[in-house]
Structure 1
């Protein structure tokens, strides 16, 4: 299907969501892959992961990029190859969960996480967050908030891309309600404190979270 939705997160930052309704063969026929990407695709054991991988390339093609414009650094972080006379290098982050693939493209560093709402997130919440932040909420709202908090930590982890960051020990979020759609978070790691702006929202039964470095 065509691109599902574009979300304008802030100036010069857009989130692109692709709802995966196609079968594997349809997606595979629609994209051109460089040899390294084809090898990655063939090495994936899950068809869901394969379809998510291909749907990301469908988003790129919608934006007039290709798989050949998507580069990965030595740490596995994705980057877009500069196009034409572009003055600014664009930053991007990628995420996939079940029926959706997503890309956020920005002129500033960004991390993206996309998660399906599920009971399991609430069950494992004590491992990655202060569960007192879920007090006085319905079970449904606890799942939503725990999913947002997981996404905050995952998106910051992806933005920083540093080995050793602990979700529970190093990343904390400012108090928020789900209706806020925005909050802030702090990373305390390697004797340094960094602040981040957070945007989040729900699309069907999925939560997306984007983290941006706070302007000093």
Structure 2
């Protein structure tokens, strides 16, 4: 399946999501990969990861870019050669790319019950408004994780902790947006964050 969804949160920012239904061969065929990208994809043990990697390159094409336009810094953060900001994610059968004139981060997660087991590792302040008895507890935990992962990708600073340095303000699932803060080294940074759900997955993204 080609492009699954396109979202334009503002005039400078576009999100594109791909539903990965093609085979590895079909995804690989039309692409012109850099030698290091080809080496990377061939070295992946899981075909699911290979297809995720390749689907991201198809999303780049949807934006008018190629694999040659993308590079990674020492922290593993992706960049585009034209100076626009990019963030990338893939999870099981979906991948996503956000491109903007300002700093951005994106994450897609499958909604799974086991997130409740690790909640204490990434949730602190948010327990003030999250409750295990809520019928949408798993969905809300997934949103919190996705937003924090997006902020982590946006800020790209080693040593930051989800539980300690990121705060997600209370939200309703139907609203599809909230404010989040990074509180790091005595400085506070505020971000607008957005989220949506589809086919048992949650996509969250943060705008700088």
Shorter-chain TM-score: what band? Answer: over 0.9
Partner in structure 2 of residue 25 of structure 1: 25
CA distance in 2, matches of 1:138, 1:164: 32
CA distance in 2, matches of 1:90, 1:201: 24
Alignment partner of 1:134 out of 126, 130, 135: 130
The normalised TM-score by structure 1 is 0.91
Give per-residue Cα distances to partners, 1:157-185, cap 9 Å, x unaligned.
10011111011111111111111211111
CA distance in 2, matches of 1:37, 1:56: 12
Partner in structure 2 of residue 99 of structure 1: 93
Once the 2 structures are TM-superposed, how far is the Cα of residue 136 of structure 1 from its aligned partner? 7.2
Once the 2 structures are TM-superposed, how far is the Cα of residue 149 of structure 1 from its aligned partner? 0.2
Partner in structure 2 of residue 85 of structure 1: none
**Does residue 136 of structure 2 align to residue 161 of structure 1?**
no
Give per-residue Cα distances to partners, 1:11-67, cap 9 Å, x unaligned.
221110110110111111121110010111122111111100000001112222110
CA distance in 2, matches of 1:39, 1:2: 25
Once the 2 structures are TM-superposed, how far is the Cα of residue 74 of structure 1 from its aligned partner? 2.1
| Structure 2 residue ranges without an equivalent (≥5) | none
Partner in structure 2 of residue 178 of structure 1: 173
Change (3 A) 1:196 1:58: same
Map 1:10-159 to 2 at 5 A.
Answer: 10-82=10-82, 89-130=83-124, 131-135=127-131, 138-139=134-135, 141-159=136-154
Q: Which moved more, 1:188-197 or 1:31-40?
A: 188-197
Aligned residues: CA RMSD: 1.4
Once the 2 structures are TM-superposed, how far is the Cα of residue 123 of structure 1 from its aligned partner? 2.0
Q: Which moved more, 1:68-77 or 1:98-107?
A: 68-77
CA distance in 1, matches of 2:132, 2:159: 33
CA distance in 1, matches of 2:85, 2:4: 21
| Structure 1 residue ranges without an equivalent (≥5) | 83-88
CA distance in 2, matches of 1:185, 1:177: 14
